[in-house]
Structure 1
Amino acid sequence: MDEYDLNATSFADAIDVGRSSISHIISGRNKPSLEFVMKIIAAFPEVELYWLLNGKGSFPKKTIVNIPPRKNDENQLEANFEEKKQSEQKDTPDSIEQIFPNQSESRTSSNSEIEQIVIFYKDGTFKNFLP
């Protein structure tokens, strides 16, 4: 309202709501409804929704121009993805000892019983064995 030098009455008229709605929101009696917020955004498209809801961000809204990637950029994105995928595969441990280095000790006490054995395969499948 301050930005456009509007009083409560003219602001209510601009967003097509009742004047009492503005009065109640300004006084703190009521919180704005989603419909109320959407009317503000419709009447003033330069108002950033996040700024309006949270008081953070920028006002007026900064326009972001979406430029489609060039063909070379798409190829570079695919190459970066493949490189990241390969580096993640290199970091994958080959054995249970690499995952749990301090847990590879033998448990042969007479009180220990095997509850289940699960074998995981590299293709993402597994087999579950119950004694």
Structure 2
Amino acid sequence: MINTDAFSKRLQKIIDYYGESASSFAEKVGVQRSTISHILSGRNKPSLDFVMKVLSHFPEVELYWLMNGKGVFPKEEKTETKIKETEKVEKVEEVEKKILPSKNEKAEMPPLPSSAISSISSSNKKIERIVIFYSDGSFQNFEN
């Protein structure tokens, strides 16, 4: 049997964690506002359908924690996933260092072909920015 009072406290914790009101939480989950009210007051027990809707809309909620109070909320990511994410961030930073000038350096503009110079000089427009895209997916941004 589920402890209705303890369940309602855990449900309230979820609602508070996401900064929702009972009404907005009910709308997100796709249930009547009265359903949330009745569960929080202890009048009704949660249905399996209700529990599944909460779990599908809020992936940080663990089923075992919601039903029995054992486990953690919000759900912690697996260490392996955290390591992979850290590696991705480090790789992105490494690529950025290679292709983007540092904040203290000013990028030097490569020489323009003569055909580009003649078309630029014949107009009254002023160049504001030039972006060069390389075949390896990197780019350089030059601003005047």
Superposition TM-score, scaled by structure 1 size: 0.48
Tell me: higher relative CO, structure 1 or 2? Use CA pairs within 8 A at least 6 residues apart: 2
Q: Is the radius of gyration larger for structure 1 or structure 2?
A: 1
- What TM-score, normalized by structure 2, do the two folds share? 0.44
